[in-house]
Amino acid sequence: MKKVLVWLLALALCLSVCGAVAEEYDPSDTYLGIVCYPSSNTTIAVWMTGFLQTAEELGYKPLYIGGDTTDAATIEQMIDSVIAQYDNLAGVTLCINSETRWNMAKKFTDAGIPVVGGWVPVDLATAESYGIDSHAYGYAAGLAIGEACEGKGVVAVTQSTFNDGENGAAQGFRDGISENFPELKVLDSVVESTDVTQGVGIVTSLLQANIGDLVGAFGTTGTSAQTWSQAAEDLGWEGYVIGMDATSANLDILEEGGVYGLVAQPIYDLWADCARHLDAYLRGEAVEFENWSEAPVIFADSVATYREVLGGVDTYVSQFR
């Protein structure tokens, strides 16, 4: 499986600023910020915690930039206000999986603030970027479901939106099945939303339309395990579902048999690494051009291992909401 790629393209701060000896650098009066939304999303809560907790451990003040909204224009206005207000904002990580990430990244880099972009590489010469190969984990999900249903029947794909990361995951899923299970049919992707109530209604309709043939599904967003398990329970449907992200809620569902598996993106560790990456850069230390991390498909026997990462997330992140 391909892993997480890190690009080092940071030009946002002058080398003379970043060339300070590590012992002379004092981050205590500076902020590291994370841009992500909506704050009510359980996966995003883990992202925020991974980054902000690590920033605090490194000696920075933590800054959350976002809120319980899905409107990019609102967040862009918030970014403008933050840049105007915080002249001691030392660096930012950007967790945006849409084309709006370029506008947001440029706002910071134009202000001389280094940016680490997550999920999908930010194609901007003044930003650093972490990217997950969504095609690779989608392919792995396709293999897992294809094997589970013995390569026969119909499977569905649902996404929160048609964005770069989820499109890649959906295509990887299709490729994994078409190349290995030619008798297994994959339906066109359906948008399920990130709102669980709306998602349950959409998935219920999808199930009702295909319930006689459907043997499995891949949901490419962090709430997919919740929407699919609830819809399946309501209709009495049994099939092989793989959702995204080893959050507490999703691990409960996996352990109870509501889904077959989860793609365990490094949703805490990746963002913790973004904070460490920025810290190293600001201290003038060498930063690797490429860094890698796994995003495996996990099953019920892995629940205990992943729960260890999530202790205290809800309590910690509540202060920023």
Report, in this order, helix, strand and coil percent for the chain, each rounded to 5. 45, 20, 35
CATH of the domain at 97: 3.40.50.2300
Asked if residue 280 is part of any domain, the answer here is yes
Question: Tens digits of per-residue pLDDT, 253-275?
Answer: 999 999 999 999 888 888 998 99
Asked if residue 303 is part of any domain, the answer here is no
The whole-number pLDDT of residue 110 equals 93
**CB 43, CB 245: distance < 8 Å:** yes
Give the contacts of 312 (CB within 8 A, at least 6 positions apart): 49
Asked if residue 256 is part of any domain, the answer here is yes
Asked if residue 300 is part of any domain, the answer here is no
Paired strand residues for 128: 116
Same-domain pairing of 125 and 272: yes
- As a whole number of angstroms, the distance between CA 94 and CA 65 comes to 10
Residue 132 DSSP SS3: strand
pLDDT reading at 76 higher than 80: yes
Question: Tens digits of per-residue pLDDT, 182-204?
Answer: 999 999 999 998 889 999 999 99
Residue 120 DSSP SS3: coil
- As a whole number of angstroms, the distance between CA 28 and CA 220 comes to 39
The whole-number pLDDT of residue 40 equals 84
Residues spanned by the domain of 55: 4-133+267-293+311-320
DSSP secondary structure code for residue 24 in this structure: G
CA 226 to chain centre: 16
Domain count, the chain: 2
Prediction pTM value:
0.75
